[in-house]
Structure 1
């Protein structure tokens, strides 16, 4: 039986499982770095890497939007079997990502200290945070290419190659990071910077692998003459369409990251132990949140391909499949995280007091990721048709009117640190309600047409 003739839920799972594994591996890479840093360097070093995370998230925001816009167009072009258009979109996106990466590297390295000052980084971890940040920021051009390359591959239905890529990245990091922390093989001991160097070595290895592997296998997005031509001479009209689709998602990510920076500032007021707990909490949550996000990404790509193939009548079934899989996959993961919460947090932290804080906060917010997963299915399927403004506005309402003010106000009450995560949970629930209502009562009534 061919792939297209299989039932929708089977095709969804075949596409989804490698995508979920890839996102989990991507999270695992950061997790292992955090374990190495927390166990081999110390709590201050872990707090330094946790403080840098919202900066990275902020800098990646427009890139994520760019990838979102290009994936919709690639999915529609692939569904229409227009390979030349697929390569035009991919080449234009890769070129834009590289230029953005260069700009981010220049600005980020020059103003590292000012950025950390705005965050209110505790004085005891400011120097090591700055050294870690400068190394990471300086290598953004390569990292941006790595993110976009794996994203465009998913647009043509390939989730296996990105999985291989992340396995390679993880394997390289598993060796390089501890080697540079402990000074194996006669290498210098770099402390917290070793985590940054390990990440860089991983994504550079992947870029080399993709260049060779895609050409040897003669795959649709292999770097051939057409793709190079599209990269060297980007189609600016096409770029405008990509940005029109992607910038709302990027803006949403920017606002979310700014909110995250404010939250880190709130957390930092409770001391470096609270910051370390925040870092451990983020790592554990990502394992539940990334699979939920993967389901939303899969729904968006399946929706785009259906629209490109002229089969818009399948969009309702794709949405229902995504929602059911969110319940069947994200739900059990949440239950397991509750059951083993203390052991999970202890992977990153050795201080018993900090472990208790992180576990308590995890219990407050973890359940709401199920609602978050449902919201990204609704927003993803709407974005597959080019409807990007409404999902963005609804998400911003939740961030700016519930999450951020709630975190600020509740953290100043008797709830203290716990109040921040109560606000997160309330925001996720309202996001699900609003996205679902817009999908049901507004989006389903519009006429769906392909964009390319």
Structure 2
């Protein structure tokens, strides 16, 4: 049994000094647990797909694949908001303002609960409509609707986990959220097998096991945070004291990132609807490949979030030169990791797809998606690292707007003009790298202009002094 002081010591040893010393090793130590946390989050979906594919049917797999963009829409908004938590708390820590950090933590928890309940209610209200919007085939519709409704029961806990994980991340602790998710993932795998093989609950049982696993991960972080000492301690007796200034900052930074992720996911919903028109095999192949490529993206996203946190703390400490170094070092590490992981996936591609299905047509379609979406992932490295760095400075709206306007417009135009002329699965996949190239160019221009503006502002302050 750990006492209060030993719990504090364990947390303290996981903190990273982001303001001094070398960067590359600290970024790796910070990013790797974060990447594995993302992998475990993907494992929730992968475990559902694998169990249903092996013990139920390809139609059940297609039902999960149909809902992936729907979950992406909601969860992306949630994770975007949590970036606001990360930036606000990290900046307060960089400024040595413990009271501000404490107020932000408390406000974050209440915001997570409100958002999670709101997402649950909205999701349930529009579940049937979502099936119509996505043009889900009749043979898949019942499975898809059941999975969506049950999965949504875990939304409040998904929100709480992501917001509290952002709190731990703000001080450099990416290990605690990882351990919490590892325990929940093991629970989810066991729950999936029990629900399908013992209870014979099929799709509903798998979704319920996932919702309960989300509850478990949220509870672990909540209990851990209430036992901390220092500014990040979550004081249960003062939970209802929401700090207006902290809430405003969290929303100002997190909302654009959340809207970006949500609208980004909305464009994927349009693509998913087009995939659905090609039949259950295309749906199953797409979700299998998506699960693999998203595992690689977990590392891209982890390094981007690392840039956000490191830049936030150093910007709070007014060290602009170190902020710039953070971006370049993160970009290099991110690119190396992505290239190595992509090469590994390509080497074992067919075996990895075989985990989810033995259907030859499903495997062939999955291979097409991997070649068109996974291989160009270095483009995402540049996009996400630049966006993450800009959010660290507190500039969340500009990269969000660039990404929204370019990605969504390119994908919508492609789906409604090019795809009808050549309605094949490969035609749909081509739009991903095309939209990334154009977006990347816009973000590079935006980042250069942002740095120039920040440096000019600092020069004006120094001249005034």
When the two structures are superposed, what TM-score results if normalisation uses the length of structure 1?
0.93
For 2:118 and 2:340, the matched residues in 1 are separated by 42
The correspondence of residues 13-412 of structure 1 with structure 2, limited to 5 A, is 13-183=28-198, 188-216=199-227, 218=229, 220-225=231-236, 228-229=237-238, 231-412=239-420
Aligned-partner SS, 1:232: coil
Q: How far off is 1:203 after superposition? A: 1.9
Q: How far off is 1:53 after superposition? A: 1.3
For 1:70 and 1:444, the matched residues in 2 are separated by 26
Judged with a 3 Å threshold, the aligned counterparts in structure 2 of structure 1 residues 24 and 380 are, in CA distance, closer, same or farther, namely: same
Note the aligned Cα RMSD (angstroms). 2.0
Q: Deviations over 1:350-382 (max 9, x none)?
A: 211111111122112212111101111111111
Judged with a 3 Å threshold, the aligned counterparts in structure 2 of structure 1 residues 3 and 66 are, in CA distance, closer, same or farther, namely: closer
Q: How far off is 1:3 after superposition? A: 5.2
Q: How far off is 1:319 after superposition? A: 0.8
8 Å CA contact retained: 2:112, 2:160: yes
For 1:28 and 1:143, the matched residues in 2 are separated by 14
Deviates more, 1:75-84 or 1:45-54: 75-84
Q: How far off is 1:224 after superposition? A: 2.3
Aligned-partner SS, 2:393: coil
Match of 1:421 among 418, 429, 438: 429
Judged with a 3 Å threshold, the aligned counterparts in structure 2 of structure 1 residues 169 and 240 are, in CA distance, closer, same or farther, namely: same
When the two structures are superposed, what TM-score results if normalisation uses the length of structure 2?
0.90
Q: Deviations over 1:22-73 (max 9, x none)?
A: 1122212321221111111111001111111111122224322321112111
Q: How far off is 1:217 after superposition? A: 5.3
Q: How far off is 1:282 after superposition? A: 0.9
For 1:399 and 1:435, the matched residues in 2 are separated by 12
For 2:170 and 2:446, the matched residues in 1 are separated by 25
Judged with a 3 Å threshold, the aligned counterparts in structure 2 of structure 1 residues 111 and 430 are, in CA distance, closer, same or farther, namely: closer
Give the match for residue 10 of structure 1.
25
For 1:348 and 1:9, the matched residues in 2 are separated by 36
Q: How far off is 1:233 after superposition? A: 2.2
- Aligned residue pairs, count: 442
For 2:141 and 2:235, the matched residues in 1 are separated by 45
8 Å CA contact retained: 1:407, 1:421: no
Aligned-partner SS, 2:183: helix
Give the match for residue 461 of structure 2.
none
For 1:272 and 1:357, the matched residues in 2 are separated by 11
Judged with a 3 Å threshold, the aligned counterparts in structure 2 of structure 1 residues 87 and 168 are, in CA distance, closer, same or farther, namely: same
For 1:46 and 1:258, the matched residues in 2 are separated by 21
8 Å CA contact retained: 1:66, 1:93: no
Q: How far off is 1:399 after superposition? A: 1.2
8 Å CA contact retained: 2:85, 2:254: yes
For 1:288 and 1:302, the matched residues in 2 are separated by 22
Deviates more, 1:58-67 or 1:2-11: 2-11
Deviates more, 1:248-257 or 1:405-414: 405-414
Gaps of 5+ in 2: 1-12, 459-465
For 1:403 and 1:111, the matched residues in 2 are separated by 24
Gaps of 5+ in 1: none
For 1:400 and 1:310, the matched residues in 2 are separated by 35
8 Å CA contact retained: 1:292, 1:326: yes
